[in-house]
Structure 1
């Protein structure tokens, strides 16, 4: 009895190409790609997703084992595509940091910073809270399934072996950054209005009562009132963000 193993090198090469795309995306994703997640867990998730994706798109890869150069070039293309997918979700998540920064400035808490666990760098406390809440809601509402769907459908948008459309990638990046900044400003709009009205009121009060220490009265009142507004609009803010994140993921899923 003879077993034909001639297909194993091509299958292994296809596995590595799929793994390159999946692993690059996992390393950049908002929740899974954060620095405090062990690398072994990231690799395990990437391998698991690869085992799921490979049977679905194995035939999309044309493997030429006679030379290593095409394989290396294809792997670089797969890594770029994975980074684009993960970075798109990461940029969408950064809208919460934009909103948190604006809110903190309006409440007088812009100087209160802490390490953002999702990005491993300093960020305002309110922004960190919104980011952690956003990640929690993504998993609680199963919205992370859309990321897996976008990965699966990326083989329709970015076919293996084709050159990465740099123009489309640049357009996608521009739209993602613009949309993240726009939604961040929209989420913080109530606090922009509050900050404008509150500061105008303090200015009028300072003119009417010059002997009054407006700063020592205004800062605690601003923080207290701001947190009351924050508690009142938090549910609506996160609902708007979830709708925005879902729309971004749907943009990566082609219509059938």
Structure 2
């Protein structure tokens, strides 16, 4: 008859389940993999596969009682670390969504929304276009592999059981304003150009009150907005590289791997 001691069960919990919670929390919350497009069962299988691959390279894990309060506290710490890493990546992707919504509002496409299949909410068409674009760029430039590399390094720089310190939370709070600033800088040229167009229509209305500016202003603003977005696509790659480098470096700093 097979008999297992408490020490053996505690060793298995520490060596496999604790890292699994951090990996699964990241995959459940990060963009692309953590969206509704990927079933939860597939994400769980992927978490198990990554954990099995990383187990031989992980540092020694603490021995804990599988049903003690300490084990539940350590599980909560691992889940929190994975969720924070995924939240940082979500902020990066929503920079482009917010930028698209700002442009759509200025050009009169704010009412044209579509259901985002990843999050299950309605977003502006331009925002959805930017989201698909940044998703393709992220996968094409192996951003997901960099995230997995940072995750593997986090088990060395932020060992299981150590938890997050106060400076990690302060760093996360300080970066929340970065999202709004990055989104504004991303679409500042397009918003400025559309503002000039609207000012020109205002001057035309003042100079010729009998001119029905609404009949020609709305379609013309829409067409000019699409042209401005098309011209701005020439510089989107350079802007993406700057933002992606900063976000991935931020991930490393959060786990102490920088």
Native 8 Å contact 1:35 1:118 kept in 2:
yes
Determine the C-alpha separation between the residues in 2 that align with 1:175 and 1:146.
23
Write the deviation string for residues 168-193 of structure 1: whole angstroms up to 9, x where unpaired: 23223223322221111111111211
Corresponding position of 1:169: 168
Corresponding position of 2:53: 52
Corresponding position of 1:234: 233
Native 8 Å contact 1:29 1:86 kept in 2:
yes
Q: Per the alignment, in what secondary structure is the counterpart of residue 70 of structure 1? A: helix
Q: Structure 1 runs of 4+ off > 4 angstroms?
A: 3-8
Determine the C-alpha separation between the residues in 2 that align with 1:157 and 1:87.
19
Q: Per the alignment, in what secondary structure is the counterpart of residue 123 of structure 2? A: strand
Corresponding position of 1:80: 80
**How far has the Cα of 1:67 moved from its partner?**
5.2
Determine the C-alpha separation between the residues in 1 that align with 2:92 and 2:21.
23
Write the deviation string for residues 127-153 of structure 1: whole angstroms up to 9, x where unpaired: 011011111111111122111122122
Q: Per the alignment, in what secondary structure is the counterpart of residue 137 of structure 2? A: helix
Determine the C-alpha separation between the residues in 2 that align with 1:65 and 1:188.
53
Corresponding position of 2:143: 143
Alignment of 1:12-23 (within 5 A): 12-23=13-24
Q: Per the alignment, in what secondary structure is the counterpart of residue 227 of structure 2? A: helix
**Structure 2 length as normaliser, TM-score?**
0.90
Write the deviation string for residues 73-105 of structure 1: whole angstroms up to 9, x where unpaired: 111110000000111111111101110111001
Moved more, 44-53 or 88-97: 44-53
Corresponding position of 1:195: 194
Determine the C-alpha separation between the residues in 1 that align with 2:214 and 2:171.
45
2:30 matched to 1:29? yes
Corresponding position of 1:43: 44
Moved more, 188-197 or 233-242: 233-242
Native 8 Å contact 1:17 1:78 kept in 2:
yes
